Chains A and B, each alone.
Chain A
Amino acid sequence: MDRLSLLFADIGKLLGRYGGAYLAGVRNTLVLALAATFIGCLIGFLCGILQTIPCAKSDHPVKKILLGLLRVIIRVYVEVFRGTPMVLQAVFIYYGLPYFTNNALRFTSVWAAALLVVSINTGAYMAESVRGGIISIDPGQTEGAKAIGMTHVQTMTSVILPQALRNILPQIGNNFIINIKDTSVMFIISFTEFFAVHRAAVGATYLYFPSATVEMIGYLCMTLAASFLLRALERKLDGDESYELVQADALTMTAGTYNYPDRGSPFDERNPEAVKSMMRESLRRQAEQDEAVRQGQRAERRRETGPSENGNRKGER
């Protein structure tokens, strides 16, 4: 018991002296992880999209060669950055730039260097996830889009990418959480994130275990909050499981029919009695509807599981 009170006392001491530094560390870690995940996703989407540009036999040879070259470059990028430790990539890039340019070029801020390294690292993982997310969307929808005259770009932006994004959202979350933790290796280029504060604090106080406790709790709080927010975002994107059944004379109920994307209720601005009876009617129809769905529909469930064959980084680094 007195060990525990000692621990609390030591933590108190640490927080008293380094509380501000720990907080600044948390802020730096979060900002770096968030920005790098975002930029990494952009890189990933770019690579994923470029890799899935369709290439028919009848296409122009120049286009075929360019596409082939592009695929090779992306492949190399992915393999190199997925296949080497990030801590080493940081050193390699941070010191490599001045080395190669004979000190003409160097990183003036560790922020820029850290952001660059974590972003391209995340991008390498996301490239594969995005590619998987795109090819997992059933080609029927691409044909449906083509059949109404959409171009490849329109098909991608209206139909495929929104679904791919939704499918890989868990992996984006995974990357964000990994980045929160793995940015700790950036101390190697003297970036003062959360873990760097630990090194500074124990260097002066030798309170290794108490500081590690602070760090454990701090990291856990950050990752739990991230998990929670990501789940909430997923639920929001999925929309309602049920939907408002606009009444049979839909054209007269313009309020409910035309207000997408605000998604107001079609029963707004009506008197309460009428609303109640309409709700009852709606529920009854919904029940009939559900029955019909149960009988008529077997597919479409697939989507919920999403692509899982690639890009799971957990424990890979």
Chain B
Amino acid sequence: MSDPILQVNHLSKSFGSNLVLRDIDFTVNTGDVISIIGASGSGKSTLLRCINLLETPTSGEILYHGRNILSRGVNQAEYRSHVGMVFQSFNLFNNMTVLENCVAGQVRVLKRGREEARTHAMEYLEKVGMAPYVNARPRQISGGQKQRVAIARALAMDPEVLLFDEPTSALDPEMVGEVLSVMKTLAESGMTMLVVTHEMAFARDVSRRVVYMNDGVICEQGSPEEIFGHPKKQETVDFLARFRS
């Protein structure tokens, strides 16, 4: 196996006295599609945000190709440009059109030329089915469409890993499908993905590894068959039972 893209060692995070993540160990290899499931408040978002350095971990290390990105002197912005993130609330830039949303980062961060950036952005907007809407502004498109643009914006940076934090939770039910199908296509194309989700069907059918988090620790992880078919821990059984009913 080639060297892992990301290796999280003994990661802990507390907000004040509230210990949210406890001694998390976790590896992401090239081509992994990992679903992170768990009850609300169990620390899933915090884990993703720590990986993307939107939160500063309290202790532990995050190795990116073997280099600890928490050590001094690491260019955090540069690191973030390799690790894409898709948020629950889309977080598109409201002052830009759909196309500009996907171009801005390439031009300003990756220093690509405008023409090149546009062509590149169009390629991904095409992939997520948003090419017809390049001139629209975020306030003019639906939630599902916004999320697809957000995915294209992240992809346009050519990230090595893409983090998704409950990408469909803010969507009306009829729009969940369009976003999930884009994510499924992405997974099939070999993109390395880390997905926090409550969509158990997605976790079961699309991901190759499922991580169950409970109360700030990784309680159990394994293949979808192991977690959904033969969970070993009682907490996992109880959590999944709530979804079956």
Q: Is the C-beta of B231 less than 8 angstroms from some C-beta in chain A?
A: no
Is there contact, CB below 8 Å, between A246 and B92? no
Residues of B within 8 A of A258 (CB): 115, 118, 122
Decide: B137 and A243 in contact? CB cutoff 8 A. yes
Chain A 177-231 residues near chain B, CB threshold 8 A: none
CA A258 to CA B117, docked complex, whole Å: 11
Q: Are A151 and B77 in contact (CB under 8 A)?
A: yes
Does B180 belong to the interface (CB within 8 Å)? no
Q: Are B91 and A144 in contact (CB under 8 A)?
A: yes
**B77 touching A300 by the CB < 8 A rule?**
no
Is A257 located at the chain interface by the 8 A CB criterion? yes
Neighbour of B154 across the interface among A147, A150, A162, A243, CB < 8 A: A147
Evaluate whether A148 and B122 lie within 8 angstroms (CB atoms) in the complex, with A245-B132, A303-B139 already known.
no
**What chain B residues lie within 8 Å of A303 (beta carbons)?**
94, 139
B114 to chain A, nearest CB (A): 9
Q: Is A148 in contact with B134, judged by CB distance below 8 angstroms?
A: no
**Interface range, B side:** 35 or more
Per-position binary interface string of chain B over residues 101-116, scored 1 when its CB falls under 8 Å from any chain A CB and 0 otherwise: 0001100111000010
Kindly list chain B residues whose C-beta atoms are within 8 Å of the C-beta of A140: 87, 89-91
B142 at the interface (CB under 8 A from A): yes
Tell which of A56, A149, A163, A285 has the most Cβ of chain B within 10 Å: A149
The reply to whether A260 and B100 contact each other, CB–CB distance below 8 Å, is yes
B77 touches A146 (CB 8 A): yes
Q: Which of B96, B99, B122 contacts A251 (CB 8 A)?
A: B122
Task: Indicate whether A293 reaches chain B with its CB closer than 8 angstroms.
Answer: yes
B136 and A243 within 8 A (CB): yes
Chain B hits for A293, CB < 8 A = 140-142
**Contact of A250 (CB < 8 Å), options: B131, B143, B144:** B131
- Interface check A297, CB cutoff 8 A: yes
Q: Nearest CB to that of B143 among chain A residues?
A: A296
Q: Are A246 and B131 in contact (CB under 8 A)?
A: yes
- Say whether B108 contacts A158, CB under 8 Å: yes
Q: 8 Å CB contacts to B: which residues of A285-308?
A: 285, 289, 292-293, 295-297, 300-301, 303
Instruction: Indicate if the CB atoms of A250 and B126 lie closer than 8 Å.
Output: yes
Q: Are A300 and B94 in contact (CB under 8 A)?
A: yes
Assess whether B135 is interfacial by the CB under 8 Å rule: yes
Q: Does B19 have its Cβ within 8 Å of any Cβ on chain A?
A: no
Q: How far is the CB of A108 from chain B (nearest CB, A)?
A: 43
Which residues of chain A from 214 to 272 have any CB-CB distance to chain B below 8 Å in the complex? 239, 242-248, 250-251, 256-258, 260, 263
Q: Which of A58, A147, A163, A247 contacts B132 (CB 8 A)?
A: A247
A106 is an interface residue with CB less than 8 A from chain B: no
> Nearest B residue to A147 by beta-carbon distance?
B85
Chain A, residue nearest B130 (CB):
A250
Q: Of B85, B109, B126, B172, which one neighbours A150 at CB under 8 angstroms?
A: B109
Residues 42-71 of B at the A interface (beta carbon under 8 Å): 52, 54, 56
Check if A162 sits within 8 Å of B95, measured CB to CB.
Answer: yes
Which residue of B144, B157, B175 contacts A148 across the interface (Cβ within 8 Å)?
A: B157
**Are A246 and B157 closer than 8 Å at their CB atoms?**
no
With most chain B CB atoms within 10 A of its CB, the pick from A246, A263, A301 is A246
Quick check: is A154 within 8 A (CB to CB) of the other chain? yes
**Once bound together, how far apart are the Cα atoms of A257 and B132, in whole Å?**
9
* A24 proximal to B (CB < 8 A): no
Interface pair A292/B142, CB less than 8 Å apart:
yes
Instruction: Beyond A150-B77, A256-B135, list 9 extra A-B contacts (CB 8 Å).
Output: A141-B91, A144-B92, A147-B84, A158-B104, A159-B93, A246-B132, A250-B134, A292-B145, A297-B143
Between A and B, 17 residue pairs with Cβ closer than 8 Å are A56-B56, A140-B91, A141-B94, A144-B150, A146-B77, A148-B84, A148-B153, A149-B109, A149-B110, A159-B96, A162-B95, A243-B135, A245-B136, A246-B134, A289-B141, A295-B172, A303-B139
Top 10 closest A-B pairs, CB basis? Answer: A149-B81, A144-B91, A296-B142, A250-B131, A148-B105, A147-B85, A140-B91, A300-B139, A149-B109, A292-B142
Point out residues on B near A: beta carbons under 8 Å.
52, 54, 56, 77-82, 84-85, 87, 89-97, 99-100, 104-105, 108-110, 115, 118, 122, 125-126, 131-145, 150, 153-154, 157, 171-172, 174-175
